[in-house]
Structure formats: C-alpha cells, structure tokens
Amino acid sequence: MNSVPFDFAEENYPLAPLTVYRVGGPARLALIPRNRAEAIEAYAWMLDQDLPKLVLGGGSNVLIADDGFPGIALFTTKLAGLEHLDDDRYYVEGGGVLDRLLQEVIVANNYSGTGGLTGIPGSVGGAIYMNAGTVNGSICQLMESVDVLDAKGVTTVTMDASLYSYRGQTFCPHGAFILGGHFTFQRDEKDQKAIYDHYIQRRKEKQPKGNSCGSVFKNPDGDHAGRLIEGCGLKGTRRGGAVISELHANFILNEGTASSSDILALIDLVKTTVLDRYGVALHEEVKIIGS
C-alpha cells in the first residue's frame, strides 16, 4: 500500500463498534471522507491500492470476520446531505441515515413509502445497495436516479424497475460506491405518521431487540426463511455467545459475547439443517466481510 495522502484515514481501525452486530476485527485502513469531493478522491486512491476494498454504510447488514478486514474500508457516513430540489423531489447523499429521510421528509410531508422503510436501520446508500424494504415496498421504487461511482467515474443511472429486485439490484456492482440519488415522492391520502407508528410497534412485538443484522437469510420464493428454520426446531440454538432468536427464527443475535465465528457456525447449521429437512437452499441476506 502507498503512503496514505489523507487526514481522514485511520490504520488498524476497529469495525465492530460501527456495526449493529458488534463483532469482528479491525480494518487495515479506514477512509472516512467528510464530503463528496473527498469521497471521490479517496475512492480513486483506494482503487489504485493492491488490497481488498469495501464500501461501508451504517453497518446494519454486515458480519465482519473475527480477524477483521485485511484491506481498505471506505465509510460513507459523513456524506449525509439532504437537499430539497423542487416540488416533491430531493437529492439525498448515500451516507445519510435512512430513518432521517423517512421521518424528516417522507412522513413529514405525508409521502407514500413509509410502510416499506419503517424500522430499517442503516444508511440511505446501504438501503439502495440492498434495495432494502419490506412486503410493503422498497427504497428503489421511490427513486428517479442514482449516482454510482466506479473506476470510470460517476454515472447517473436512471432508475427502472428492471434494475432492482427483492433485496438486490444490478446498477451498483459490489465495490462500486452509491454517492447519492434523486428521489421523487408522491403525496398519499393515508396518514403516514400513523403507518410509521404502527410498523414501529409491530417490530417491537415481532422482532428481538439486541445486536443482529435483521433477517440473516433471504426468503426463498413463496416461503419464509423463518418458518423453515423454526420448522427444523432450531429456535434457541446456541453457539458461544450467539443464539437463534426464540421470537423470530431468521434472527441470529449476539448476546454480548459472541464472536463472528459463533454466528457463522449458526449460519452453517441453519443452511445444512434446512437443506436436509426441506431440500431448500437458503441464501444469506447479510454480507459476510473478511476471511
């Protein structure tokens, strides 16, 4: 690695505190740009280094390996601008907190989309990368375009339903960087604050509190991963400090002392058991980072 030309860089940077799971080792180098110009400069420099590369947002859907990430992690979290353009159009940078966009813009103006995004932690860019959402809709449905930075520079991709699917998209390959995007919202007749409060309450009742990544596995077509895991009798199964939630079988919790390996051991156990019992191959929604 060349010497680092930035004052927003930190070597051997602990990642666990920056993830909701609170597990895993440090990144060899972290870059934490404070604005879009620094982010573009940092990204270009990162691409020139002969090390693994990672773009990280709010850390709510990642599981970092116990020995960390042996490369460069570029954090988006200070890239958090939110600008009202005109009428119902906004430009939102990728590092902003998703719940801020939801509460300060969508709910505040009674725009449609609350049901799909309520209670999802993390950043706007992470949500776009994952096409985060629920059965009520997903973030990409609310977008007009997205700015993607890669080795060729910044491309503004016009959003189209063919570019995204359940918890995924094709406009931002792994390693590219979602700088931000244009949102166009529609006013709704239904009271969005009431919808927000309803889904926050539902999550309190149906999802376990604590350190997790939300749903570990994607739902297979026409079924629910949680139903299959529960059907295998795996609720409450433990490895070290990690446990498959009694409340929601698709959640694996770090009870405070879990290592990344404990959680990975449960992920492997679930995959093998569900395949044996139901013939269904589960695929992780959580992104596993490092060895």
Cα dihedral: 261, 254, 63, 268 (round 10): 50
Of 7-15, 125-133, 183-191, 267-275: span binding ligand FAD (CB under 6 A): 125-133
> What residues contact residue 119 under an 8 Å CB cut-off, 6+ apart?
199, 200, 203, 207
Q: What number of other Cβ atoms are within 10 A of residue 17's Cβ? A: 9
Would you state the structure tokens that stand for residue 204, as one six-digit string?
A: 């309190």
Residue 166 CA to residue 172 CA, distance in Å, equals 15
Candidates 76, 245, 254, 260; binder of ligand FAD (CB under 6 A) is 76
Candidates 214, 229, 258, 260; binder of ligand FAD (CB under 6 A) is 214
Task: Show the site string, 218-257: x = touches ligand FAD by CB under 6 A, - = not.
Answer: ----------------------------------------
Of 28-36, 131-139, 183-191, 254-262: span binding ligand FAD (CB under 6 A): 131-139
- 3-state class of 197 per DSSP? helix
Q: By C-beta, is 179 or 273 nearer to ligand FAD?
A: 179
| Residue from 60, 112, 215, 259 carrying the catalytic annotation | 215
Please tell me whether residue 101 binds ligand FAD under the rule CB under 6 A.
no
Identity of residue 198 = H
Residue 251 CA to residue 224 CA, distance in Å, equals 12
Residues 79-98 that bind ligand FAD (CB under 6 A): 94
Exposed e or buried b per residue across 192-222, where buried means at least 16 C-beta atoms within 10 angstroms of its C-beta: beebbeebeeebeeebeeebbbbbbbbbbee
Please tell me whether residue 133 binds ligand FAD under the rule CB under 6 A.
yes
Return the closest-CA partner of residue 90 out of 81, 98, 99.
Answer: 81
Please tell me whether residue 120 binds ligand FAD under the rule CB under 6 A.
yes
Residues 167-206 that bind ligand FAD (CB under 6 A): 167, 172, 177-178
215 is catalytic: yes
Please tell me whether residue 39 binds ligand FAD under the rule CB under 6 A.
no
Interface with ligand FAD (CB under 6 A): 20, 54-62, 76, 94, 120-123, 125-127, 129-130, 132-134, 167, 172, 177-178, 212-214, 287
Residues designated as active site: 167, 215, 285
